[in-house]
Homo-oligomer: A and B are copies of this chain.
Amino acid sequence: MILLARIRPPPRLLQQHRRNLSAKALANANLGFKRDVDLVEQQALVNRQGDLVRALKARKAPKEEIDAAVTLLKDLKFKLQEFEAASPKEEASQDESSGTSSQASGKRFREAVTNALERRMFFTNSFGIYGGVAGLFDYGPPGCAVKANVLSFWRQHFVVNDDLLEVDCPCLTPEAVLRASGHVEKFTDLMVRDVKEGHCFRADHVLKDFVKDALEKDPRMPAAKRDDYTRTLASLDDFSVEELGAKIKEYGIRAPDTKNDLSDPFPFNLMFGTPIGPTGLLQGYLRPETAQGIFVNFNELLYYNGGKLPFGAAQIGQAFRNEIAPRQGLLRVREFTLAEIEFFVDPADKSHPKFASVADLEFFLYPRAEQMSLKDPVKVRLGHAVAQKVINNETLGYYIGRTYLFLTALGINKNRLRFRQHLANEMAHYAADCWDAEIECSYGWIECVGLADRSAYDLKAHSTASKSNLVASRDLPEPVVVEEFAAVPNRKEIGVAFKANQKLVLEALQELNNEEALEMQKKLESDGEAPLHICNADKTFTIKKGMVTFNKQVTKKSKEKFTPSVIEPSFGIGRIIYCLFEHCFDTRGGVDGQLNVFRFPPLVAPVKCTVFPLVQNPKLDGIARAISAKLREAGIGNKIDTTGRSIGRRYARTDEIGVPFAITVDSEDGVTVRDRDSKDQIRVPLEEVVDLIADMSAGKRSWKEVQGVYPAHVAAKASDETDE
């Protein structure tokens, strides 16, 4: 599992808890934890040890020394967890669920939301009439509209606002690209197989479920065994494949359904493979993320940007992961939409020109130090966090701030949103700093956006593998005088001597560096010939005197080349939408009992407005139709309802899909507009209503503002209430 953290994708977005589980569990449990003396004492120990580990790492202490300190830290944390496990059950089981509400009530809430979502076809199981496929979901009309609104706002908030270079690359990706990125080799989960039936399970899930189940069902388990089980639970994500296999054997764990024997764990690559083209020889995969499409286009994008850094590129698109056993509904799926930004900067200057625009934001950060010392997330001013180097640099800080603004504008509750810094053992070795935007929902704190400073890793990996130089150049502080020794080939002789290989030879000669050129010149003078080894082609050619001469050139260089660093915000759109559903879900009393309402902000609401005539009447119907048509023309999705159902029932139907505004046509020159959340109504002249709804839908005017402009419609409000 640790290996996973070393390549680009796995530990980040949309991968479940591959990080140090114990740290996570502690961090979560901590939220509602009652501290007593023992606990404080143990915390202090963990804190001190955590400080030590960080200090050792900071001064690049020998590996053994760090390892020993980490082992002790784990022991301490394990004891802390054991302590916690001894607390009342409800608290101990909060690992997966919310820290403030119990697991049971979380599940009830989730069921209510899911029912409301399925009832109005926000989503369905894909291919349901054929029995469905685990991990695949369809968005129905309102879900699809929410998604379109979220993506459109994402484009506005990030791409248009910061003039990012958006690209659109295929999902089909040839193996070479994903080999270079590390996915072919390392994008795996450990799997075990039912040796008789062939059923597959995630090895860590099997072990975790077994141990958890045993701990829960057997309260009188001997202390030593409980000790061992708890320790296993705490180190689950640190186990090597061998350790995992040994534990499964040791505990005699069998297939959960059939009770057959299980195979040893083995790595299963999570990419969907499919050959491209008819021969079957070009292996391809469905991309597990969209980022690689940007990296391989780096040179083109830099050129498009006039050769200047910094710049950002963006991509929205589908990505695919062949999960072994998808759980958690919409949160863990096999196909999903990502929106990713790769912001390229000079590693020597990671400032951001617009940082000041977000510096004064205050929200919850959960820095490494707070996690290690078991403290709560802290509400902090972004500018302060960057100035204190809690967040590594301005550009990373800028995107954390913009992400905060993005998520809260969508309707994510800012008190259930935190930015959690990766612990040292969660981060890839090359990463400078990583933060996850985590949103709390009934499944617990879910990573929905990953924000990472990945240094130059990706561009370097593709430069090496593709033999293209993915580099930018910068002005030197002062011009440097360079002596260059350049080969001047005799094309004719080389052509005659090397025929089909002449191009290869010519290129290799031109790429000789100063030392190599000098050496060849010497050899040619002394021996009359010199070997030219071409690494890429693994061939050696003999160059004879006369085929090449050398020219000494003294040039002034004012620029130098370098590989840019990349700061990557990566948004799991489906996860954000699911959390949004939960945060916006509410119920209220109505004529038919409890009614569901989604309190979507107008910006993301699937339908912005309903239009109905107060009574069935051709004139009012005609006006309602005209308003509806004008709204459509203005691009505002709306529903017209001329069924003559009671107003209360109509409201209930539209509340269920979160329509923020309702227009009731009750006369020929004016209408009432009702706000979903306050149920307040105002009187608006006919000719102003379309612009009003357009402005409110686009977030240009708020209901509060509008209430100051138009008179209230009190009578109608009362009838609405009683009608409901």
Q: What 1/0 flags go to A327-352 for Cβ under 8 Å of B?
A: 00000001100000000000000000
Partner of A174 from the list B133, B139, B148 (CB cut-off 8 Å) is B133
A200 B278 Cβ-Cβ under 8 A = yes
Select which of B124, B161, B173, B335 is within 8 A of A300 by beta carbon: B124
A167, B140: Cβ atoms closer than 8 Å: yes
> Contact partner of A173 among B127, B165, B168, CB < 8 A?
B127
Interface membership of A322, Cβ < 8 A: yes
A466 to B136, CA, bound (A): 18
Q: Which of B156, B191, B322 meets A635, CB within 8 Å?
A: B156
Pairs A-B, 7 closest by C-beta atoms: A200-B278, A139-B168, A129-B466, A129-B468, A141-B165, A274-B274, A170-B335
Complex contact A274–B273 (CB within 8 A) = yes
Please report the C-alpha to C-alpha distance between residue A160 and residue B637 in the assembled complex, in whole angstroms. 6
Across-interface contacts of A335 in B (CB, < 8 A): 170-172
Which residues from B are CB-within-8-Å of A170?
Answer: 126, 136-138, 334-335
Residues of B near A171 (CB, < 8 A) are 171, 286, 318, 320, 335
Inter-chain contact A300/B200, CB cutoff 8 Å: no
A172 lies within 8 A of B278 (CB): no
A491 within 8 A of B: no
Whether A268 is near chain B, meaning CB under 8 Å from some CB there, is yes
**Given pairs A127-B177, A141-B165, 16 additional interface contacts (CB within 8 A):** A120-B304, A126-B170, A126-B293, A129-B296, A133-B172, A133-B277, A136-B172, A138-B168, A139-B169, A141-B167, A144-B167, A144-B168, A148-B166, A163-B637, A273-B274, A274-B274
Shortest beta-carbon distance, A409 to chain B, in Å? 13
Q: Which residues of B contact A174 (CB under 8 A)?
A: 127, 130, 133
A495 CB → nearest B CB, Å? 25
Check: A272 CB closer than 8 A to any chain B CB: yes
> Is A247 part of the contact surface with B, judged by Cβ < 8 Å?
no
Known interface pairs A126-B170, A171-B335, A334-B276; A140-B268 also in contact (CB < 8 Å): no
- 30 residue pairs of the A-B complex, CB under 8 angstroms, read A121-B301, A121-B303, A121-B304, A124-B297, A124-B300, A127-B174, A127-B177, A129-B466, A129-B468, A129-B470, A130-B296, A133-B174, A133-B277, A138-B168, A139-B169, A140-B165, A140-B301, A141-B301, A144-B167, A145-B166, A147-B168, A152-B152, A171-B171, A171-B286, A171-B335, A172-B335, A198-B281, A200-B278, A274-B286, A286-B286
Q: A277-B200, A277-B322 are in contact. Are A300 and B121 (CB under 8 A)?
A: yes
**Are A166 and B141 also in contact (CB < 8 A) when A130-B177, A173-B127, A174-B133 are?**
yes
A281 contacts which chain B residues (CB < 8 A)?
Answer: 198
User: Are A632 and B199 touching (Cβ within 8 A)?
Assistant: no
Binary contact readout A172-196 vs B (1 if CB under 8 angstroms, 0 otherwise): 1110110000000000000100000
Which residues A112-163 have CB closer than 8 A to chain B? Answer: 120-121, 124, 126-130, 133-134, 136-141, 143-145, 147-148, 152, 155-156, 160-161, 163
Q: Which of B138, B300, B324 contacts A297 (CB 8 A)?
A: B138
Query: Contact: B160 with A635, CB < 8 Å?
Result: yes
Closest partner residue, chain B, to A148 (CB atom): B155
Using CB atoms, name the residue of chain B closest to A198: B279
Q: Is A392 an interface residue, CB under 8 A from the partner?
A: no
In the docked arrangement, what's the CA distance between A144 and B301, Å?
A: 13
Within 8 A of B (CB), among A589-647: 632, 635-637, 639
Distance of A174 Cα from B199 Cα, bound (Å): 18
Kindly state whether residue A299 has any CB partner on chain B within 8 Å. yes
> Judging by beta carbons under 8 Å apart, are B168 and A279 in contact?
no
Alpha-carbon separation in the docked complex, A169 to B127 (Å): 9
Does A462 lie at the interface of the complex (its beta carbon under 8 Å from any beta carbon of B)?
A: yes
A278 adjacent to B268 (CB under 8 Å): yes
Query: Is A140 within 8 A of B293, CB to CB?
Result: no
Instruction: Give complex CA distance A465, B137 in Å.
Output: 21
Q: Which residue of B lies closest to A169 (CB)?
A: B138
Q: How far is the CB of A383 from chain B (nearest CB, A)?
A: 21
Asked whether A221 is an interface residue with its Cβ less than 8 Å from the other chain, the reply is no
Determine if A279 and B199 form an interchain contact, defined as CB atoms under 8 angstroms apart. Answer: yes
- Determine the chain B residues whose CB is within 8 A of the CB of A156 once the complex forms: 635
B172 in contact with A134 (CB, 8 Å): no
Chain B residue numbers with a CB within 8 Å of A282 are 133
In the complex, which residues of chain B have a beta carbon less than 8 angstroms from the beta carbon of A152?
152
What residues on B are CB-neighbors of A636 within 8 Å?
160
- How far is it, in angstroms, between the C-alpha of A176 and the C-alpha of B124 when the chains are bound? 18
Residue of B nearest to A166 (CB): B144
Find out whether the CB atom of B276 lies under 8 angstroms from the CB atom of A140.
Answer: no
**Nearest CB on B from A501, distance (A):** 19
